[in-house]
Amino acid sequence: MAATQTKTYQNYIGGKWVDSVTGRTYQVHNPARTGQVVGEFQTSGAEDALQAVASAKGGLAVWANTPAPARAAIIYKAMEIMGRRAEELAETITIEEGKPIADARGEIKRAMNIMEYAAGEGRRMFGYTTPSELPNTVAYTVRRPLGVVGIITPWNFPMAIPAWKIAPALICGNALVFKPASATPLSAVKLAEIYEEAGLPAGVLNLVTGPGGQVGNALVESPDVKGISFTGSTEVGTELYAESAKRLKKVQAEMGGKNAVIVLSDADMDKALGGIVQGAFGSTGQRCTATSRVIVEEAVYDEFIAELVDRTSKLKVGDGIYPANDVAPLSSQNQKDKVLEYIGVGTEEGAHLAFGGRALSGGDFDQGYYVEPTIFTEVSTGMRIAKEEIFGPVLTVFKARDLKEAIEISNSVEFGLSSSVYTKDITKAYQYINTVETGMVHVNASTLGGEVHLPFGGLGASGVGAREQGTAAVDFFTEVITVYIDHAAEATERARFI
Ligand code: NDP
């Protein structure tokens, strides 16, 4: 039998698929079966990034002058192509990132939703008119594209996150350089193929794969890049924000989370448990909105823990490509090492390991990065597992006397992305909504996700700059220009100000 040949994928610059200037490539492996090579990709460097920026400047000249409804037509077309290829794309996500196929299908659906929403903005993109204080004068605002923008994305949503940055950037008339996570370049290649097939003019979307320290950094440093949309770790996001600020670049940085759910004693326990188990262990906990902490009112604490452990013990761990598996492998050896390290830290800190805690081995488990869903109880706010983003299937549980103490625990971390309370008491729900320090707040629902027509983002170490999605995305990807027109027939005396 002939050996299967590994396919080599190229960068997409100026409407052409090209090798990197470095001449080097790297391989990506399936996290569920590390012997399976997903593909070979370009290890690009700064020179490739700068070629892509130059190409984007060319693309911008065409695209910025294309009417927004005409840009929308291309995004709608791309959405249709994505729909046609949905199953293949979902499998690609599972094979290169590892997540369960049902989650990968959901990711494609989410990407299509944002494309639909962003394309709709092509017929809105409102400015406003307002009376001028001067006679015979018209005053209004209009939106212009930012220019060339850099899109730097993580591996945990290799299709949806790029889609929710790229579609809004495009509808606003920007040209872009897309630098996907090194771990998940195949989804990125397929997204670029989709826009190519949809008829996006050459140079408007450029894809460069390769290490963030070189390709991403070159985008940050380039004076021709006017804005950066980043999602990833707080560490990299903070540095990128500071470096961009020095160069007066607009930045939106979506970063980590340590999302907490509060369960009050009057909560619908079944609903709460369903949301928490899905929030903590779905997508192997590798979501920025994953549930990482649960704070339970003491009256129901013991009952809650018993049921939580029981439900968690029924989760089936395995290769995400099989729909029967609930929890898939972690996405890389690094992720596995990091999660196991935190489990060790939690044990050393004195938290009680109530469930899981081991790397899984034997049979198919030996081929991938599998760790059991893990629950720590008796956690206190000073512990590292209570404060730091673990980004894996590890849930920490706290006991609280009442809502007030529960909110204090919830707010005790530097992150502030998403949060939730389960209660039937409307007064308590509002008390929570008004005091919890997160950018997204849920009542009787899990910490996960968000809808594409609403702003997405967090406070503190979870995010900085304009929110993503919804109309907030248009605010980020455009500059607002204020126009004054004096249409008087003759010169008039005008106030002198500013
Ligand atoms: P990073 O923040 O390192 O990577 C995110 C993106 O930034 C990738 O495309 C990466 O490229 C790029 N990048 C890395 N360094 C630079 C740089 N100096 N300049 C510009 N771009 C850069 O996250 P990791 O993938 O390393 O994950 C580490 C941890 O971050 C996770 O364990 C998790 O805790 C957190 N994380 C949080 C996410 C969230 O959604 N909140 C998403 C992903 C990670 P490359 O891949 O080539 O390094």
Does 150 sit in the ligand 1 pocket, CB within 6 Å?
no
> Atom 16 in ligand 1: which residue has the minimum CA distance?
212
Q: Is residue 168 within 8 Å of residue 71, measured between CB atoms?
A: no
Asked whether the beta carbons of 351 and 385 are under 8 A apart, the reply is: yes
Do 263 and 189 belong to one domain?
no
> Annotated catalytic, 197?
no
CATH number at residue 149: 3.40.605.10
CATH code for the domain of 435: 3.40.309.10
- Write down the pLDDT at residue 182: 98
* Residue in 231, 236, 292, 391 to alter for ligand 1 test, most ligand atoms within 8 A of Cβ: 236
Residue nearest to atom 38 of ligand 1 (CA): 232
DSSP state of 260: E
Those residues of the chain that have pLDDT short of 50 are 1-2
| 231/270 same-domain check | no
pLDDT score of 1: 41
Nearest residue to 394 (alpha-carbon basis) of 453, 459, 338: 338
CA distances for 414 relative to 1, 66, 71, 276, 407, angstroms: 55, 43, 40, 21, 14
pLDDT of residue 449: 80
Atom 43 (ligand 1): residue with closest C-alpha?
232
- Measured from the CB, is residue 240 less than 6 Å from ligand 1? yes
**Same domain (yes/no): 91, 222:** yes
* Total count of domains within the chain: 2
pLDDT recorded at residue 5: 82
Query: What's the pLDDT score for residue 157?
Result: 97
- pTM of the model as a whole: 0.96
Q: What pLDDT, on a 0 to 100 scale, did the predictor assign at position 498?
A: 59
Same domain, 295 and 192: no
Beta carbons of 318 and 94 less than 8 angstroms apart: no
Query: Can you list the positions of beta strands (E) in 202-306?
Result: 205-207, 225-231, 250-254, 259-263, 291-297
Element (H, E) at 68: helix 68-84
| Residues near 360 by beta carbon (within 8 Å), at least 6 away in sequence | 317, 370, 371, 372
Same domain, residue pair 311 and 245 = no
Tokens of 146: 């930012």
Catalytic choice (254, 297, 372, 468): 254
Query: Are 106 and 85 contained in the same domain?
Result: yes
Looking at the structure, tell me whether residues 152 and 298 fall in a common domain: no
Question: Which residue range forms the structural domain that includes residue 388?
Answer: 259-443
